[in-house]
Structure 1
């Protein structure tokens, strides 16, 4: 529902294989558990953002083709290496999220020209620089005052400047939940958290290179792999 709302969809027909979920949302079944009531309230708050929303349960007899396809996909790619990425979530989705204000950059950043082009259509001086912005701009979108990098396989990533990027790297690498992981792992985690800037890999590697704890304890092969 969140993705549909971000895409501007006003009418949504949802299908689930759980009779309990469908009937609780529709109001046919009562919800007595306090924890489930919190989740149901969150769902209803999302439902209210649509002009028309309907949810239906798919009977098991009508869901056989999907089950067969899922099993077929598992068998077809059985020869590929399987990796399971585990992310520990410490807060429930029903709890209010902590809001963090954007860091104010002291000067123009790589985002400035793109934002100006998306907002007003103005281009920087110089044919070469103007062409770069024209080529890059379709990959971004402006939501209010915040620039996002479009993603066709997932959620859009919020763009950040160098000052905020440095703070994000430090927090993910050695902050309260940091594990002093290698630069590749840190960069991928930053992307999963929803942030983007063009020099992500290079900047992360450079910042981790000066981490004293990593230089003392990281395997030599990992230290040599930094670009």
Structure 2
């Protein structure tokens, strides 16, 4: 506003485009003599250390053999390719680990102080090392013969220790082992507490030891042999689907096994689960051939012709007048509600309610639906 009287207009400076700077520098070039050099203070940051070595590695694992490829580059730029054939089976990742460790070992032997390690993420490096490792894996090298220009070696042992855990199959203990030890020797498991020992003593009264086998004594005096889970699976298969197996349901299968004199924990539950997994039972089971029917709602032909009556049970806390029961009647057509509360509800009260609140007001209904309780 101050400079407007002088007919001066203020314009905001816009951004300068790159092409304008290019044209300006092209119009006004700088004359530089040939012997003059431009000084860059941060030039050392952009240059590599001339004493740094580079290590490239990769591994191969296949049906034809196992091998690793190593490429060691000295600071001058001389390539030292090394290919190693492994005489022991390794996985792909293990071969890469062997290649890395072998490359580090070779660099240490050469007295390398600074080493740059490059993996197989670079495509060119990966192709070069893949060729070296595949060549070592496919080449059959007689003992005592050296091949040039590649330095091919053979390894009989790993550079790193590999710890393996034996795959031992743990045999589960039978469920009746604590019972058998207590019945035979009177011993408790070491981890049992006082309550568990008492329960074991009470539970062991139904078991007896005969000829080194544990039996469960039934109420009728029959002794049933206690078996583990593996034997139970064989017995269920034989009784259910074996010779003359009727493919009965789970409850019948459990009772039949009991009659044969065998017992184990959760017998009926196991039998029901086994029958559900039986393929023939699922294929040839009885199906409901009755087609599904549509569910129809109960309708009323006209208003106040069909009523439904029910009682709301004792309400707590009760009302101020001491009433605790509510008798409710609902019309099916209009959804109209008639309700009345009572302190004590009897059949006489229900009779008076129907006469005064329904018949006297809306005439005798065609249908009266209740739950057939004592009050109705």
Which structure has more relative contact order (CA 8 Å, sep 6+)? It is: 1
User: Of Structure 1 and Structure 2, which has the larger fraction of its residues in strand?
Assistant: 2
Which has the greater radius of gyration? 2
Which structure is higher in helix share?
1
TM-score (norm 2): 0.30
